[in-house]
């Protein structure tokens, strides 16, 4: 981009956009990594504004850690002062420079807007291509994922709901194609409390999927969603399960997560339902009530919500092999090489919410083993922020849990053929 100065005899308003794209993984860059671009930016600012009092602010719109944002801000201010710029409060400054940081999968970006009086504007740009991150150690990633075993069985596990826990799960509900099984942990071993049979008139689709969720209303404990079937339990143990044919939408957000505010005071995750095909293994694309102005999207396998500062971004893993990023106004599709299962988790890391996506395991070879990795979504471009967490086979389900801070993954073990359910927990790396 080029400098543009208009109305030379009037006071100048400069809009400066700088996208500096990282050559190192997010979260580990030292101040020295930013010194070159910061110096270039400072030189371009001063070339337009000249020396004097300038109010400089830096806003992070990327997955950079606070310490890196602080390092960038410090480098920029030092370079500006070396060129004759004096830091000042906005009301005391002759100009102001508001720098925002962004990124995409190929590059890392800084965006700044500089105002000086009521004059015209100009734009400049500095960019550095992202380097190859493959050589960096896993420990350097800002988010760490770990898997906690929940349950394993021969029958296909569709979902697991944790009903009671303290420091670890104490009671769980396991959903498969024919029943919901309630287990309680006693003396370090899981014991069966109750089995609840699922009645259905039609045969299940070949690739069966389903959800078991804690009920929003207090008049019953569990809701079960299966293709063309909805089941509701009674309120307390011993439970009974009443099932009926239904085309009601499946909740894409559990009730507790829907009331869970986003990190940093952004919008909370609002309830959203989607209609599931009774004869296939995907959602039809019809939404209830919808995302902003959009009431339908393309057919999809799974979805994840990511609260942004002023809106809610939804990710849909489409049956077309693309990830659709929907903000309520636009539907942007991208081929990211992800699998068909996505989820999201709320953490204290980065922007506060990360997307979890399945993919081929790093050591899978031809074995069919999958992995899960965490991503930040900045300017609609995903940036990996965790190492790939490998699993012993194909991941068949990935659901965000009710509180929003963890997810449940189900995998079919490629060696034993059994299904294994894990809780996925995310933590900020030190």
pLDDT averaged per 10 residues, the chain (length 430): 36 36 40 70 78 79 65 83 87 78 60 70 60 39 91 97 92 97 94 96 95 92 97 93 96 64 55 95 96 95 90 94 93 91 92 90 59 86 88 96 94 96 89
Q: Give whole-number Cα distances, 161 to 80, 254, 287, 395, 424, in Å.
A: 55, 11, 24, 17, 13
Q: Structural domains in the chain? A: 31-136 (3.40.50), 140-428 (2.130.10)
Cα–Cα distance between 341 and 411 in angstroms, integer?
12
Closest of 310, 320, 271, 309 to residue 291, by C-alpha: 271
Q: Are 25 and 141 in contact (CB under 8 A)?
A: yes
Predicted pLDDT of residue 266: 53
* Helices 66-82 and 35-49: angle between axes, nearest 10 degrees: 50
Residue partners of 326: CB distance under 8 A and separation at least 6: 291, 294, 297, 313, 314, 315, 316, 332
């Amino acid at each position: 981009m080029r400098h543009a100065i208009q109305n030379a005899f009037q006071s100048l308003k400069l809009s400066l956009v700088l996208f500096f794209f990282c050559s190192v993984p997010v979260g580990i860059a030292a101040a020295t990594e930013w010194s070159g671009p910061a110096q270039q930016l400072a030189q371009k600012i001063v070339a337009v504004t000249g020396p004097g009092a300038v109010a400089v602010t830096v806003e992070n719109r990327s997955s950079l850690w606070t310490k890196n944002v602080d390092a960038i801000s410090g480098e920029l201010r030092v370079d500006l002062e070396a060129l004759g710029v004096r830091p000042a409060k906005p009301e005391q400054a002759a100009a102001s420079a508001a720098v925002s940081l962004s990124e995409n999968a190929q590059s890392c970006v800084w965006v700044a807007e500089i105002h000086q009086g009521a004059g015209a504007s100009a734009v400049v740009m500095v960019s550095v291509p992202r380097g190859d991150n493959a050589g960096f150690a896993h420990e350097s990633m800002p988010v760490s994922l770990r898997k906690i075993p929940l349950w394993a069985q021969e029958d296909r596990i569709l979902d697991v709901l944790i009903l009671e826990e303290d420091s670890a799960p104490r009671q769980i509900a396991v959903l498969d194609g024919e029943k919901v099984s309630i287990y309680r942990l006693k003396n370090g071993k899981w014991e069966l409390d109750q089995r609840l049979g699922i009645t259905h008139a039609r045969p299940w689709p070949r690739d069966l999927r389903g959800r078991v969720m804690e009920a929003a209303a207090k008049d019953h404990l569990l809701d079960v969603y299966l293709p063309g079937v909805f089941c509701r339990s009674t309120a307390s143990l011993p439970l009974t399960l009443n099932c009926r044919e239904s085309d009601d939408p499946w909740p894409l957000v559990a009730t507790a997560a829907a009331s869970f505010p986003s990190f940093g005071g952004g919008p909370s995750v609002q309830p959203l339902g989607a209609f599931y095909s009774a004869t296939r293994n995907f959602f039809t694309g019809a939404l209830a009530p919808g995302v902003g102005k959009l009431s339908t999207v393309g057919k999809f396998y799974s979805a994840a919500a990511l609260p942004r500062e002023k809106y809610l971004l939804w990710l849909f893993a489409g049956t077309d092999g693309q990830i659709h990023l929907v903000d309520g106004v636009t539907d942007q599709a991208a081929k990211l090489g992800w699998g068909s299962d996505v989820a999201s988790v709320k953490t204290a890391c980065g922007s506060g919410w990360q997307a979890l996506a399945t993919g081929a395991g790093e050591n899978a070879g031809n074995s069919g083993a999958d992995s899960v990795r965490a991503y930040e979504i900045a300017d609609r471009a995903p940036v990996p922020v965790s190492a790939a967490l490998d699993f012993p086979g194909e991941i068949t389900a990935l659901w965000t849990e009710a509180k929003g801070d963890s997810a449940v993954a189900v995998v079919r073990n490629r060696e034993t053929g059994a299904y294994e359910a894990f809780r996925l927990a995310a933590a900020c790396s030190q």
